[in-house]
Amino acid sequence: MIPDSIEAARRLLSWYDRHRRDLPWRAKPGETADPYRVWLSEIMLQQTTVPAAAPYFRNFTERWPAVRDLADAPLDDLLVAWAGLGYYARARNLHKCARAVVDRHGGRFPANEAALLELPGIGAYTAAAITAIAFDRKATVVDGNVERVIARIFAVEEPLPNAKPSLRRLAATLTPDFRPGDYAQAMMDLGATICTPRKPKCMLCPWAEYCEGRTAGIAETLPRKVAKAEKPTRRGVAYWLLNPDGSVLLRRRAEEGLLGGMAEVPSTSWGPELPGEAAVAAQQPLPARWRRLPGLVRHTFTHFHLELEVVAGQAGADWRLADGTWVPVDRLGDHALPSVMVKVVRHALSHA
DNA sequence: CAAGCGTGGTC
DNA sequence: TGACCAAGCTT
């Protein structure tokens, strides 16, 4: 158990000072944090690893150095820049949030949790993180790392997500009044580098002697989680359609839902079974003779597996009638293609 | 409020 | 190699 939460916080901060990681969005010691950069990094890091987010962060801050720049940019420019990072609602909310900060707050992020929570794309975790890291005000930051650290320190055996309220309460009892920003980052760094999901490095942990999970020999098994449902497989056929200029037909997906607002190679609907010839003909973007390309494009989303067969066709004189945009192959990079569609494009180019 | 929402890395 | 995982939010 933790006999003295102030002493525990001091120990964690001492460890943090010695092992602070140099990350692209992190202010150097003594520097003042930029709320815009803190916000942008926190949105990018939602359910996303540091190595995946880092190049996107560099690109965004170079193109849009301040929140006003982001607010003034067209949404489509953000979507193209976000393509490949996933969870595209984040990019749409990023734009909404930038506009809200400009319109409602004069271009400055509000310095309190409640006001931050009102902004699009900012939930409990992100509001607390910005409060602590950008403004150095006390806030209890609870992300997946913190949940793991707290579950182990207090040997919480109740499975997630039920345990969330308890873990939050326990985390709050440890949050000190001093160095709020450093403490928040220290907790997350501890989870990311020492108190890792597998093979935690307890020998290096500044809190090892407090850790009830370690004492009980169950630290590595925590936090417990309820088993997730198995992912179903959905199947469809994608249409690789060229016009007489050699341009490819792309469409824009609906603004809401899966891959909302992103570009796609047109396809049949995705169902349990691969669509037959009749369905392929019924849903084709233009009448064409379709040639089946060998192999399948496989992709896994959060909640289902996808298998796409790709068919190639040549549009005739009526190609202008197609619903969508004709894009020269060497300009496909200008469009907001999610990773699954990049796979389809690569598949088509290598087999067609 | 459970379910929907991406992707690339890891073991 | 397939399941699991990562600095969650929205509806």
Question: Is A301 found in the same domain as A243?
Answer: yes
Question: Is A177 found in the same domain as A34?
Answer: yes
Question: Is A95 found in the same domain as A173?
Answer: yes
Instruction: Write out pLDDT tens, residues A41-92.
Output: 999 999 999 999 999 999 999 999 999 999 999 999 999 999 999 999 999 9
Tell me which residue of A341, A310, A308, A340 sits closest to A327, measured CA to CA.
A341
Which CATH number belongs to the domain containing residue A260 in this structure? 3.90.79.10
A194 is written with which tokens?
Answer: 């020492």
Domain end point (choices A169, A189, A221)? A221
Question: Is A258 found in the same domain as A196?
Answer: no
Looking at strand B, which nucleotides approach a protein CB closer than 7 A?
2-9, 11
Q: Is the peptide bond before A244 cis (omega within 30 degrees of 0)?
A: no
Query: What pLDDT, on a 0 to 100 scale, did the predictor assign at position A90?
Result: 97
Residue A228 lies in a domain: no
Tell me which residue of A337, A295, A331 sits closest to A312, measured CA to CA.
A295
| Residue ranges for chain A with pLDDT beneath 50 | none
A151 is written with which tokens?
Answer: 């579950």
Question: Is A252 found in the same domain as A183?
Answer: no
Residue A226 lies in a domain: no
Task: Give the H or E element holding residue A298.
Answer: strand A297-300
Using the C1' atom of nucleotide B6, identify the protein residue whose alpha carbon is closest. Answer: A86
Query: What pLDDT, on a 0 to 100 scale, did the predictor assign at position A28?
Result: 85
Question: Is A281 found in the same domain as A200?
Answer: no
C1' of C4 to CA of A347 (Å):
27
Burial of A74 (0-12, 13-18, 19+ CB in 10 A): exposed
Query: What pLDDT, on a 0 to 100 scale, did the predictor assign at position A318?
Result: 94
Domain span including residue A303: 233-350
Residue A117 lies in a domain: yes
Question: Is A106 found in the same domain as A154?
Answer: yes
Catalytic one among A7, A42, A209, A255? Answer: A42
Question: Is A269 found in the same domain as A207?
Answer: no
Question: Is A298 found in the same domain as A162?
Answer: no
Domains identified in chain A, total number? 2
Residue A227 lies in a domain: no
Distance between CA atoms of residues A285 and A239, nearest Å? 8
pTM recorded for the entire structure: 0.96
C1' of B7 to CA of A4 (Å):
41
Distance between CA atoms of residues A222 and A152, nearest Å? 6
Domain end point (choices A221, A243, A273)? A221
Domain end point (choices A221, A251, A281)? A221
A309 is catalytic: no
Looking at strand C, which nucleotides approach a protein CB closer than 7 A?
3-10
Question: Which amino acid, residue A334?
Answer: D
Question: Is A119 found in the same domain as A13?
Answer: yes
Query: What pLDDT, on a 0 to 100 scale, did the predictor assign at position A30?
Result: 83
Question: Is A195 found in the same domain as A59?
Answer: yes
Which CATH number belongs to the domain containing residue A193 in this structure? 1.10.340.30
The answer to whether A239 and A311 have CB atoms below 8 angstroms apart is yes
C1' of C5 to CA of A322 (Å):
41
Tell me which residue of A20, A298, A341 sits closest to A179, measured CA to CA.
A20
Question: Is A246 found in the same domain as A107?
Answer: no
Is residue A242 helix, strand or coil? Answer: strand
Residue A263 lies in a domain: yes
